[in-house]
């Protein structure tokens, strides 16, 4: 039996405590202050709780992720720690984190999917979680929308970005919009996420010749679109795209024979798929052979 490796834990490293404002913080997947970085801010919309006088003394507690990002130095892997109980809702068009800088690490400190986990809601059709600068990590958050036809829910264009161990929950129909669009983004990692989507576009759509050396590993992808659903992961038939799609599990709500699968090279593979082997994707020249099973409602 194949075992899903803990890629979400392996890429996270630790800065010696003497070089940080605080000792490294443990999360469910390990410590996360990368070399050269520091903890820039702690975030919780409800402010300090009983027994948290140290936040008042340090002045590091802020009310939004955007405020925390203001304190990050570009290119230094600084960390914004998002505390349990934090909530934020974005109800306007545009990128929700205007202060995002290269190398920022946005790390939730709860259990993704839990009701008290840090929660980010997109409540406008034009709101977008845009990872448009290099080497950003978003990990451990609840990211959700109940707004139909959100056009750019999660969009990755920056090189070296990571989505890890998030609970991404889309309860309204996105229609012909992907949940996660990766365009021309080299070295993208998507690992350990639980994604529930309702869209006629692919859940994860990969385009652009610049999308090289991607890794989509160990994710659970659930398609709630009852009719007309397309792929869990779709990689465009474009020269230059390369990477690995492995150890993912897809579940579709479409009964019978759905058009839902892992489309690695424009050859759609249907049905329930346990993507349990390593399939290389190099210039879309070689088909991946996937183990498929019958669909289930």
Point out which residues pair with 262 in neighbouring strands: 233
Q: 3-class secondary structure for the chain?
A: CCCCCCHHHHCCCCCCHHHCCCCCCEECCEECCCCCCCEEEEECCCCCCCCCHHHHHHCCEECCHHHHHCCCCCCCCCEEEECCCCEEEECCCEECCCCCCCCCEEEECCCCCCCCCCEEEECCCCEEEEECCCCCEEECCEEEECCCCCCCCEEECCCCCEEECCEEEECCCCECCCCEEEECCCCCEEECCEEEECECCCCEEEECCCCCCEEEECCEEEECCCCCCCCCEEECCCCCCEEEEEEEEEEECCCCCCCCCEECCCCCCCCEEEEEEEEEEECCCCCCCCCEECCCC
278 pLDDT band, cuts 50/70/90, is: very low
Q: Is residue 297 part of a domain?
A: no
Q: Is residue 280 part of a domain?
A: yes
- State residue 40's pLDDT score: 93
Asked whether residue 277 is domain-assigned, the answer is yes
Report residue 6's pLDDT band, with 50, 70 and 90 as the boundaries. Answer: very low
Q: Is the pLDDT of residue 93 over 90?
A: yes
Can you give the pTM of this predicted structure?
0.80
Residue 151 included in any domain: yes
Residue 6 lies in a domain: no
pLDDT value at residue 264: 63
Owner of token pair 């451990």: 140
Range with the poorest average pLDDT among 20-24, 116-120, 153-157: 20-24
pLDDT at residue 251 in the model? 76
Mean pLDDT of 65-88: 95
Count: domains in the chain: 1
Please tell me the distance from the alpha carbon of residue 135 to that of residue 75, in angstroms, as a whole number: 8
Residue 262 lies in a domain: yes
Using the predicted structure, report yes or no on whether residue 9 has a pLDDT greater than 60: no
Domain that holds residue 149: 30-291
Least confident of 38-52, 210-224, 270-284: 270-284
By the 8 A CB rule, do 21 and 60 touch? yes
- Check whether 289 has a pLDDT greater than 50: no
Domain annotation covers residue 203: yes
More confident residue, 216 or 284: 216
In a domain, 281, yes or no: yes
pLDDT tens-digit map of 158-207: 999 999 999 999 988 888 889 999 999 999 999 999 999 888 888 999 99
Say what the pLDDT of residue 179 is. 93
């Amino acid at each position: 039996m194949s075992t899903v490796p803990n890629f979400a834990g392996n890429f996270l490293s630790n800065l010696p405590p003497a070089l940080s404002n605080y000792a490294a913080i443990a999360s469910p997947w390990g410590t996360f202050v990368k070399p050269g970085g520091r903890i820039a801010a702690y975030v919780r919309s409800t402010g300090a709780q009983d027994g948290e006088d140290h936040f008042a003394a340090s002045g590091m507690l802020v009310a939004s992720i955007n405020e925390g990002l203001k304190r990050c130095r570009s290119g230094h892997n600084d960390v914004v720690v998002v505390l349990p109980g934090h909530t934020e809702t974005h109800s306007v068009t545009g990128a929700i984190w205007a202060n995002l800088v290269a190398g920022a690490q946005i790390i939730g400190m709860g259990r993704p999917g839990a009701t008290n986990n840090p929660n980010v809601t997109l409540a406008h059709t034009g709101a977008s979680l845009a990872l448009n600068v290099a080497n950003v990590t978003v990990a451990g958050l609840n990211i959700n929308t109940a707004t139909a036809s959100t056009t750019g829910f999660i969009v990755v264009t920056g090189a070296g970005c990571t989505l890890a161990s998030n609970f991404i929950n889309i309860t309204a129909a996105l229609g012909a919009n992907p949940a996660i669009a990766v365009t021309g983004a080299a070295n993208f990692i998507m690992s350990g996420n639980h994604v529930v989507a309702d869209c006629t576009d692919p859940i994860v759509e990969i385009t652009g010749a610049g999308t090289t050396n991607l890794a989509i590993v160990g994710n659970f992808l659930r398609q709630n679109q009852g009719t007309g659903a397309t792929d869990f992961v779709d990689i465009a038939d474009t020269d230059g795209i390369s990477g690995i799609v492995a150890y993912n599990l897809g579940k579709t709500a479409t009964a019978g024979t759905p058009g839902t699968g892992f489309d690695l090279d424009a050859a759609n593979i249907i049905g329930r798929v346990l993507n349990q082997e390593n399939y290389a994707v190099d210039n879309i020249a070689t088909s991946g052979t996937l183990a498929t099973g019958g669909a289930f409602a």
